[in-house]
Chain A
């Protein structure tokens, strides 16, 4: 049972490039989340999904897009990378709302 798997673990992008951060969970969880973690700022919610085909904005959605075509996958897309998007990104999932989150190991993204 792998839990929540994020790829890649590290990535360096140039300004203006695009990329997709992958997140997959094998626990059949309905709810999935993307956060970014910046020093001293805690985790900020980017987007979340309550099930396949349903996504909603979090606290800091600008510059990102998501899709949820299956229960297992919740990719996060950066279309035009900017230095302000340098951060550590965490994906998380839960089976229902009243449960603690299962986190992936994170993706460390640097944009230069």
Chain B
């Protein structure tokens, strides 16, 4: 079955700490991968996406993610977090072989201490 697994449900970091959020997926075919962020009371916004090419993709606000096909992973990273990064982060995947049915992970709630 198609699924997306995010390993950390809650993460607490101090400002300037480095961040890595794990994402693994189970989805047949050639996949498209996404990371979204949701600030309190708002809808999801795109951080970055991977379709093809360079497996290291850079997004907005200093975030990046690396696609490792052999591990079915798409982990999100940021070298130095800020208080304003406090939010919930969602990994998502779809594929043209799945009719572009987009599946989301359960989310990781990040709290950054000032």
Question: Are B103 and A59 interface neighbours, CB within 8 A?
Answer: yes
Mark the stretch among B43-51, B66-74, B75-83 that contacts chain A.
Answer: B43-51
A50 interface residue, CB < 8 Å from B? yes
- Using CB atoms, name the residue of chain B closest to A49: B99
Question: Are A43 and B100 interface neighbours, CB within 8 A?
Answer: no
A94 partner residues in chain B, CB cutoff 8 A: 100
- Using CB atoms, name the residue of chain B closest to A42: B106
B24 interface residue, CB < 8 Å from A? no
A31 partner residues in chain B, CB cutoff 8 A: 100
> What separation, in Å, do the CA atoms of A100 and B102 have in the docked complex?
10
Question: Are A45 and B49 interface neighbours, CB within 8 A?
Answer: no
10 more contacts with CB within 8 A, not counting A96-B100, A101-B34, are A40-B106, A42-B90, A42-B104, A43-B44, A43-B104, A45-B101, A45-B103, A45-B104, A48-B101, A103-B43
Restricting to A35-77, which residues have a CB under 8 Å from any CB of B? 35, 40-45, 48, 50, 56, 58-59
B100 partner residues in chain A, CB cutoff 8 A: 31, 48, 50, 94, 96-98
Closest 9 CB pairs of A and B: A97-B100, A42-B106, A103-B43, A43-B104, A100-B46, A42-B107, A42-B104, A98-B32, A103-B44
B92 partner residues in chain A, CB cutoff 8 A: 43, 101
B22 interface residue, CB < 8 Å from A? no
A104 partner residues in chain B, CB cutoff 8 A: 43
- Contact with A97, one of B6, B44, B94, B104 (Cβ below 8 angstroms): B94
- Contact with A101, one of B6, B95, B102, B106 (Cβ below 8 angstroms): B102
B96 partner residues in chain A, CB cutoff 8 A: 97-98
Nearest Cβ on chain B to A82's Cβ, whole angstroms? 22
B9 interface residue, CB < 8 Å from A? yes
B46 partner residues in chain A, CB cutoff 8 A: 100-101
A48 partner residues in chain B, CB cutoff 8 A: 99-102
B101 partner residues in chain A, CB cutoff 8 A: 45, 48, 56, 58
> What separation, in Å, do the CA atoms of A25 and B95 have in the docked complex?
23
